[in-house]
Amino acid sequence: MRIELLTCGVLLLALSAPGSYAQISVCGVAPLNTKTRIVGGQDATAGAWPWQVSLFKGGHFCGGSLINSQWVLTAAHCFPSTSTANLIVYLGRHTQKIQNPNEVSSTVSQIIKHPNYDSQTNDNDITLLQLSSPVTFTNYITPICLAASGSYFPAGLDSWVTGWGYIRSDVPLPSPQALQEVNVPIMSNYQCMADYSPDPITSNMICAGLPQGGKDSCQGDSGGPLVAKNVTRWVQAGIVGFGNGCAQPNFPGVYTRVSMYQSWINSQITGDQPGYINYGTDSKSAAHVISLSVPLLLSVLLSLLVLL
């Protein structure tokens, strides 16, 4: 009987584990996405990217990604002002012009820009938005998993970027009604630095695109997610940042590298932390499992000592 009671206590503790342990069970799952245009992309199906959000101030101006029930990740350059007045976040949205039966909207209680954001170099281009109240997860509204510190996204890896931005850089209007998606390969920072020289590409950035151009994010996509699939879950590698035009040859899109900001994100968010996946090699994945298990194991052992 003593053993049975202890087992039940351990099970309850594991099920109620806070922070990223709780979010891992729901993040990065897109039940309506069957995939294993943005410039050169195509219309996404409704619910394919359930973490995608649309930011509104009189109209759509930037994208973002839901990272837990009350926080959105986006770009700092989307917010020259941190006033929340008239700012609305749409979640579960598919089209911009007609009714979206699966969407909800939320106001924002605070905007937290990275203190070291540099508008001249685009370094640390990351911002957090706290929704005024938590949202309920559905097939059309779920959080994305974030790339954990130390994640590795190799050159050539398939990634996807989504948004409602311009679909041609030379003819910027009209923007698309339906959410757009485009598949772009990760590019090495070494190649990206060569392409953008002498402008700096820092270790806080990650690049994606084709050498010949033709596929890219564009104005209006800023703040949205660049994601890659890790077996069964989608992981956010980047935040849409900047580029030289859109889809130009030898100028890939440049994104904020999410894995560089795990500590900062955690230090700003109260309550449940986002779910993190250590994307990369098997050894890195194993390290991720250990990082989840050790804190939980320590909690279990502490619980056992109390019960004894």
Indicate which residues carry an active-site annotation.
77, 125, 222
Which two three-digit tokens encode residue 143?
A: 């959080």
- Rounded CA-CA distance 55/37 in Å is 20
Pick the closest to residue 213 from 14, 39, 82 (CA basis): 39
- Rounded CA-CA distance 151/282 in Å is 11
Q: Which residues contact 139 (CB under 8 A, 6 or more apart)?
A: 31, 32, 47, 50, 102
List residues bridging with 90 in a β-sheet.
54, 105
Distances (CA, A) of 89 to 58, 73, 148, 168: 12, 11, 25, 25
Query: Count of residues for the chain?
Result: 308
Pick the closest to residue 254 from 232, 299, 222, 214 (CA basis): 222
Q: 278-302 in b/e burial notation, b at 16+ Cβ within 10 A?
A: bbbeeeebeebeeebeeeeeebbee
What sign for the dihedral angle of Cα 169, 170, 171, 172? positive
- Rounded CA-CA distance 234/257 in Å is 15
Q: Count Cβ atoms below 10 Å from residue 132 Cβ, excluding itself.
A: 12
Residue 226's identity, in one-letter code, is: L
